[in-house]
Each structure stands twice: as C-alpha cells, then as structure tokens.
Amino acid sequence: MSFLRKHINISLNSLSTLRRLSTLTQKPFPDKPTATYYDNLAADAANSGDFDSLLNLLNKRIKDGFYNTKRTFSFITNTNFTPSLLNDVVTTISRLNPGITRRNALESLVTRLCKLRRPNDALNVVESMSRVGDFELKACTFHPILNFLTRDRSLDHARHVVVVMTRLDVQPDVTAHNYFLMTHCITGNVEDAVGVLRTIEDEGLCVDERTYDALVLGACRKGNVVGAMVLVRRMVDDGVYMLYSTHIHVIEALLKMNCSEQGLSYVRCFTGKDKALDCELFRCLGGKLVEMNKLKEAMLVFREMDERGLQMSDKMREIYEMNVGVGNDDKLLE
C-alpha cells in the first residue's frame, strides 16, 4: 500500500491558519508558544483526525523557530498504530513547505517509529518520501533506523538499509558506518571492525570522536588497555574531541585490571580545563572504587575532589566524612 495519496493543495494565509488553530485549541494562540505547546497541539489535531491543522502546525512551528522534537509524533503509539494513520501523517509531511520544514518533520517521524521498534515502517516512510518532488534525502534521515538495527544486532537488516540508501543515491556518512563499527567492537568482531574502517577510508570520509569511541571500547573489551591508550593519545595529538564515554571505557578497563593507581593518573591527565568534566571523571572513578569495596583507594579520590573543590554526590560526601582522618585516607600513592 502506498503511503502517499494525491491531495489538492489549499493555500491558507496566516490569519486563516491562526483561526483554525484557535478553533482547535479552544483558546487564543499564545504570543510566545513553546515546542511543548506545539507538540500538544499536534497530538490534538491528529487524534481528532484534523490533518489540515496538523499540516499548518508543522509549517508554523518552524517559522516560529521551533524544530520538531521526539514528542511531536508521540500521538502514534503501538496501540493506535494503523497503516491508515501512518498514511495520513506521511501525506501531511509530503505537503509541508519544502526544505528544512519537511525534512525535520520526516526525521522526527522516523525517530518515533524506531522508538516504537518499527524500523520497517520507518524505512517504508523514507522510501515513500523519496518519491516526493523537490525533496532530497540525507544520510542523517536513515540514522535512527541504522542505530536501532545495529543496537538490536540485526546487522543483515541494517546492511539492507545501506543498500536502499545507495539505491536512493544517498551516500552513507561516517555516522552510519560508526553504528556498524560500534556493534562489531562491542561483540569483539575485530575482522568486521577493520573492514568498516577500510570502508571509511576508501570512501574518503574522516573518522570522528564516535569512531574513536568505538575503537577504544573495542580495545578495552579485548583487554588491550595499552592499545586503547595509544588511541587516546592519538585523539589528543590530533585535537579530536573526546566523548565522556571514551574516558569511562578506559577507567573501567583499568579498574578491571586492578590498576586503580593508573586510573587516578589517567583522570589527572584530563583535569584542569573543564571543571564539569573533572567532576564527572573523579565521580566515576570514586564511585566504581566504592562499588568494588576499595574504600582506601576511593578515599584518595574523594580527598582530591575535596581539595579541588569538586562536588561529590551525597553518598560520596557521607563516605568521605565518615572515614577521613581514621586511617582510611592514607595516601595510596607517593
């Protein structure tokens, strides 16, 4: 069944649009609406079957500077999902103003369908929109689908999505490849991970922080902390932004090897530039040491946090104040 139907385009001026919206909400349209306000109106319009109002809302919210959110299409649920409802929504999107208005709505809908674990419907929607005139698909439109499928370990299905992208003349970007790379690194499939890196290189794409994040995780999962450190050093030398999760991969790997001293040294290497990051890294290290019942080592971390003026969680502060000065806070390192 096709997702698109022919419609007669009806041009509405701003006054008639506001009048329709006012009728729908039964109250004056606010001078300063919010994204949440628009999301609620969208749900009201769709639930009442008024897709002309939904069309006007989706057009107007972008003009007012409000991008669609993950809640814009929350009125679509697994309970009320029907091909007819999805057909009406996609037809509405196909009639939106071209450019960012239409693309942003499509990406929001695709994200919602993947949230509902409906990647096939999401892909069908994208393929249907590819047949709409004056509309160019982007690789980012497929990201929610690839993210869902690779996280679900449905790699054959994800590869099919890439085939569809190619057929629609959409070149997979580095983010698309990173989804596969992360899955291979999590599962320890080194050969396929190397294959993804070769593809990125062959296609002339530049690796980014998420590429490195996956590689560091893969090295840590294999127990190759030295290799992970080499990657981290390369990121630093190349000026690549480091994700918080990348630091966590290394800290967890070091603690798993009972290298708490090296874990603290690692954290210290990245402190002093961003106090929020300093706080998170020290909290992570201290919290994990407590979980491992390494109180003496944790106290060293908490004391340094206190000296640096970094905020502890309530539990950390309680542990620190209960044990400071009673022998547990002796220096672990010289």
Average pLDDT over the chain reads: 89
Q: Within a 13 Å sphere around the CA of 38, how many CA atoms are in the beta-carbon half?
A: 27
Q: What pLDDT, on a 0 to 100 scale, did the predictor assign at position 28? A: 64
The two tokens of residue 118 are 């409906």
Averaged pLDDT for residues 65-77: 95
Query: Is-contact 29 22, C-beta < 8 A?
Result: yes
Q: Where are the chain's structural domains?
A: 1-139, 173-257, 259-334
Confidence of residue 30 (pLDDT cuts 50, 70, 90): confident
CA–centroid distance for 247 within its chain: 18
Between CA 140 and CA 138 the distance in angstroms is 5
105: which DSSP letter?
Answer: H
The two tokens of residue 245 are 């999760």
What string of DSSP letters covers 147-177?
HHHHHTT-HHHHHHHHHHHHHTT----HHHH
Residues in the chain: 334
Lowest mean pLDDT among 152-166, 267-281, 319-333: 319-333
Query: Is-contact 104 72, C-beta < 8 A?
Result: no
For 55, 174, 189, the CA distances from 17, given in Å and listed in that order, are 10, 41, 55
Fold (CATH) for 173-257: 1.25.40
Query: Is-contact 173 139, C-beta < 8 A?
Result: yes
Summarised one tens digit per residue, pLDDT across range 121-155 is: 999 999 999 999 878 899 999 999 999 999 999 99
Summarised one tens digit per residue, pLDDT across range 151-195 is: 999 999 999 999 999 999 999 999 999 999 999 999 989 899 999
* % residues pLDDT > 70 (the chain): 88
Summarised one tens digit per residue, pLDDT across range 285-299 is: 999 999 999 999 999
Summarised one tens digit per residue, pLDDT across range 208-254 is: 999 999 999 999 999 999 999 999 999 999 999 999 999 999 999 99
Whether the pLDDT of residue 332 is over 60: the answer is: no
Q: What pLDDT, on a 0 to 100 scale, did the predictor assign at position 328? A: 46
